Amino acid sequence: MMLLSALAATVRGYADEKPDYTKGVFILNEDWFGHQNSTINYLRPDGEWEYRVFQKENPGKELGCTSQYGAIYEGRMYIISKQERDVAATVTGGRITVCDAETMACIKQIETIATDDEGRSVADGRAFVGVNPQKGYISTSNGIYVFDLEALEVTGLIPGTDAEGGGLYSAQCGTMLKVGDHVLAIHQKKGLLVIDAESDTVVRVIGAPLEAGVQRGFGSIVQAKDSSLWISVTPDLSGRGATIDYFFRLDYQTLDTTRIALPAGYGLPSSWYAWTADAFCASARQNKLYWKKQGNGWFTHNEIVCYDIDKGECSDFFDTQSIGWYMYCGAGFRIHPQTDEMYVSLYQDNLKQTYETVRLSNTGEVLGVYEMIDNYWFPAMVIFPPQAQNGPTGPADPTEPTEPTEPTANEAVAPSVLLSVYPNPTAEVVYIELSEPALLEVLAIDGRVVFRKEAGAGVQAVTLERRGLYILRVSAGGRVATGRVVRR
């Protein structure tokens, strides 16, 4: 009897435990279009998989159809799907699904983002970006919409972002990035939309070049460790998946673009038509960009490229065929913002249910191989949980910052300017000691300048209003020193 009571107590204890999805890695999957709704899997720190965790934590509920984008912001995960339900599915999910990022408990699902006068959907989901704790933006096949994060309601279209009567795959909006007071959004036809994040208005449109009578396009935009902005280029607007051997660096202050030539065959991925977030991303620990060689199509790619921003050099990072696998067309790899390790989703081909994920060091060494059960997963995007969101390219403010990393040799360009930063981590006020007069700037991880001052030599006190990771930048006489500081 005592044994049965103890066993019952143990079972109750396990049942009462809340799931913790804060330390591993999520893989969002399209799943098998025409057969089932999308799924999200979780790779635990011990290397074991937990499959279909949204269904597991929310019995009777499922994601929408062809989920392509997930982001964590202010403790919640926002999963964006193209449609609310696959044609063969029996459960209706949503184009927008909002979950608790730690437990994956569903908070709300929204079936349609916008409809016509007859109630039919006119906007399939693409991506999400958090603007502030009160609102975010949802990009779609037909414009960008403001999303109230408190009421969890779509409140309206941002004028000038829509498809202007175009078809479902001809004038989409895709990747968005919050930088300073603006959101930078990629439009398939118009180019880069610069949106005032306070008034929700397009204040400038930067078009892709017209070359030899051919209108180029933009593919996506990323922000590097040094806060520089980079835009991929498509050879035309057809969405055929072809690439071109150059991309652009964008100066956020002037909005000027600089064309950067690439070696032949190193063009960045193009993901229009059947839109995906694509495999173009930046390291949060090194000043490097990564993408896959795509050539002229979407499928069976195997080469990952690294671009060293400081050196202006391209190099081959990893060939997945060295271990006998291919990458799918979506955002199948991303860089962990804390460890600088790359997680890569791999498959055999479209007609096989054989998939795995590999973990690579920042030098391309295979650190782990995680086989999966048979299924047509078609991975869409790697998502890192809340505790990992502390890099300059992370979509969310950190809620549990880790110990800061000391500046690297590349960061400490002017060690005589920046003498010390203390205490670090800090409870609120950080003291910055300078050896000479300099421009002192403190940036939030999304690129916003939260403090700027022409400071004299000596100690400057800076109050950090919110918890999280901040980038410190000191400029004097053409020299720049950068560092990091954490407010707990």
Domains and CATH numbers, the chain: 22-388 (2.130.10.10), 418-487 (2.60.40.3080)
Where does the pLDDT of residue 408 fall: very low under 50, low under 70, confident under 90, or very high at 90 and above? Answer: very low
Q: Which of 192, 208, 393 is nearest to 284 (CA)?
A: 393
Which pLDDT tens digit goes with each residue over 135-177?
999 999 999 999 999 999 999 999 999 998 777 778 999 999 9
My answer on whether omega of the bond before 423 falls inside 30° of 0, hence cis, is yes
The string of pLDDT tens digits covering residues 411-458 is: 333 345 777 787 877 878 888 888 888 899 898 866 678 888 888 888
> Which residue type does 251 have?
D
- Measure Cα distances from 44 to 25, 53, 332, 471 in Å: 7, 12, 18, 30
Q: Which of 184, 197, 211, 62 is CA-nearest to residue 135?
A: 197
Taking alpha carbons only, the member of 66, 376, 357, 300 closest to residue 292 is: 300
- In angstroms, rounded to a whole number, what is the distance separating the alpha carbons of residues 320 and 327? 8
Give yes or no for a contact between 26 and 19, defined as CB atoms under 8 angstroms apart.
no
DSSP 400: S
- CA-based end-to-end distance of the chain: 49
pTM to 2 decimal places: 0.78
Using 50, 70 and 90 to split pLDDT, how confident is the model at 15? very low
Element (H, E) at 298: none
Distance CA 470, CA 449 (A): 10
